[in-house]
Amino acid sequence: MPSLQSVISCLSDYDPSALRVDQANTIIRNVLEPVQGIEQLAIRAALDRVLADDVISPIDVPAHDNSAMDGYGFASQAAQDTAGDVVLEVIGTAYAGKAFEGAPTSAQAVRIMTGAVMPNGCDTVVPQELVDIQAGGNQIRFSRDAVRPGDNRRLRGEDLARGQAALSAGRILTPADLGLLASLGVAEIRVRRRLRVAFFSTGNELRSIGEALDPGCVYDSNRYTLHGMLRRLNVDLIDMGVVRDDPDAMEVAFRSACENADAIITSGGVSVGDADYTKQIMAKLGDVTFWKIAMRPGRPMAFGRIGSNGHEAMLFGLPGNPVAVMVTFYNFVRPALHRMMGASAAALPRVRVRSATPIRKRPGRTEYQRGIVAAGPNGELEVRITGQQGSGVLRSMSEANCFIVLGHDQESVEIGDMVEVVLFHGLI
């Protein structure tokens, strides 16, 4: 694994006290490597797991040309050669799972059900709604213009051809993917092992739920937002609660986290002014940098690799403020954990919508305002910021359905300006 120093030395304008969001992400990405270890799982158990190898389709899907409708299969040439209505003799039925064995002539048709194999020589299906049934069901008549050649026929291999890559390594498996694998007859697949992530909160003012809230104290909420965000990533969680600001307790916690996890996430204690031991112990145990990132919220952050007794883990020291924790998690930790999981997940998609409110913004930092995207008066989507945007105001996050991302160089936004948003749907 490359050292932090060697990665940082490749950046031309590295300034740890005013690091741009994209620079921080570049450093993190270049230091990290996917963990090794693979498991073989039944496809049901593989939902949300990371595919270890490409899956090549062993068969054509569908395996035969078949009908997309309930109707009548026939050879389209017959209809092409007819001037008025097409009249065909019905000589049998093709069911899904029970093909029609004969070979109709150009004057004949076969009643066919959705999914049934196309009879020999038939290339088109006329839907049953478009035909007149005559001669007690033995004959059909329909307009020449009712269908074009090839209509309502699904071609063999049109979904996936044999030998084609159905899914690529690094994919996080979705419900659709499980169905796709089943459609190939694949029962088990190889996935990357789950990532183990330890996390704890630091700060002497923190109280756990159930404890008395002494004067000047707050309940530890980061433990719960981190729990929720990590659950969404389908990692194994090691929840270490609150660790007191005492050098021995801190060191024990970091060492135990190192020995049991691939990554450690802490919150609090990494600000420049912070008098606690968090930063000291982080630096003592490994190769850690302390950044001030040009962003809001979420300015202070520690990143690096720490070790104990031959075990190493990546460290993400997030700020303490509850909203800053969520913003830094989504910007830095989520892509980092994806990389460690071997996932090739793309960056979160950004959508441009009109701002229904003015937003104050200072150039020189990236801001993540919390917003609500909804249809405006003319039916088009627009976004407005949720109330108080302070980095401690978790309610602004809870009410929001998106981040409004205001780029590094962007200035204040006027009503009606287009802004970029990242929707929370499926994320938060």
Binding footprint of ligand AMP on the chain (CB under 6 A): 201, 203, 205-206, 218, 220-222, 267-269, 271, 274, 319-322, 392
Tell me which of ligand AMP, Mg ion, none is bound by residue 222, counting a contact when its beta carbon lies within the kind-specific cut-off of 5 to 8 angstroms.
ligand AMP
Q: Which stretch binds Mg ion (CB under 5 A): 110-118, 316-324, 371-379, 400-408?
A: 316-324
Indicate whether 268 belongs to the interface with Mg ion (CB under 5 A): yes
Q: Which residue is nearest to ligand AMP (CB)?
A: 320
206: DSSP letter: E
Contacts of 224 (CB under 8 A, 6+ apart): none
Tell me which of ligand AMP, Mg ion, none is bound by residue 152, counting a contact when its beta carbon lies within the kind-specific cut-off of 5 to 8 angstroms.
none
Half-sphere exposure of 7 (CA within 13 A, CB side): 21
In degrees, to the nearest 5, what angle opens at C-alpha 338 toward C-alphas 332 and 344? 120
Give min distance, CB of 229 to ligand AMP, in A.
Answer: 14
221, two tokens:
């909420």
CB 67 within 8 A of CB 114: yes
Element counts in the chain: helices (H) and strands (E): 10, 26
Q: CB count, 10 Å around CB of 81?
A: 10
- Give the residue from 369, 363, 327, 374 showing the smallest Cα distance to 348: 327
Quote the distance between the C-alpha of residue 224 and its chain's center. 21
Rounded CA gap, 427 and 230, in Å? 10
CB 174 within 8 A of CB 185: no
Whichever of 142 and 330 has its CB closer to ligand AMP, that residue is 330
Rounded CA gap, 371 and 225, in Å? 18
**CA gyration radius, the chain:** 30
Rounded CA gap, 23 and 19, in Å? 6
Give min distance, CB of 272 to ligand AMP, in A.
Answer: 10
Indicate whether 317 belongs to the interface with Mg ion (CB under 5 A): no
Indicate whether 300 belongs to the interface with Mg ion (CB under 5 A): no
Task: List the interface residues with Mg ion, window 104-143 (CB under 5 A).
Answer: none
Give min distance, CB of 239 to ligand AMP, in A.
Answer: 12
Tell me which of Mg ion, ligand AMP, none is bound by residue 322, counting a contact when its beta carbon lies within the kind-specific cut-off of 5 to 8 angstroms.
ligand AMP
Give min distance, CB of 384 to ligand AMP, in A.
Answer: 26
333: DSSP letter: I
Give min distance, CB of 249 to ligand AMP, in A.
Answer: 16
Tell me which of Mg ion, ligand AMP, none is bound by residue 369, counting a contact when its beta carbon lies within the kind-specific cut-off of 5 to 8 angstroms.
none
Whichever of 127 and 392 has its CB closer to ligand AMP, that residue is 392
In degrees, to the nearest 5, what angle opens at C-alpha 291 toward C-alphas 287 and 294? 155
Total binding residues toward Mg ion, as defined by CB under 5 A: 4
| Strand-pair partners of 370 | 403
- Give the residue from 63, 60, 37, 44 showing the smallest Cα distance to 177: 44
Tell me which of ligand AMP, Mg ion, none is bound by residue 157, counting a contact when its beta carbon lies within the kind-specific cut-off of 5 to 8 angstroms.
none
Give min distance, CB of 278 to Mg ion, in A.
Answer: 8
Instruction: Write down the residue that tokens 């460690």 correspond to.
Output: 340
Q: Which residue is nearest to Mg ion (CB)?
A: 203
Task: List the interface residues with Mg ion, window 345-384 (CB under 5 A).
Answer: none
Residue 9 to residues 3, 6, 368, Cα–Cα distance (Å): 10, 5, 28
41, two tokens:
């799982």
Give min distance, CB of 260 to ligand AMP, in A.
Answer: 21
Whichever of 142 and 316 has its CB closer to ligand AMP, that residue is 316
Indicate whether 319 belongs to the interface with Mg ion (CB under 5 A): no
Task: List the interface residues with Mg ion, window 191-210 (CB under 5 A).
Answer: 203
Task: List the interface residues with Mg ion, window 224-263 (CB under 5 A).
Answer: none
Indicate whether 322 belongs to the interface with Mg ion (CB under 5 A): no
Whichever of 14 and 224 has its CB closer to ligand AMP, that residue is 224
Whichever of 76 and 266 has its CB closer to ligand AMP, that residue is 266
Tell me which of ligand AMP, Mg ion, none is bound by residue 267, counting a contact when its beta carbon lies within the kind-specific cut-off of 5 to 8 angstroms.
ligand AMP
Rounded CA gap, 401 and 369, in Å? 11
Q: Which residues bind Mg ion (CB under 5 A)?
A: 203, 268-269, 320
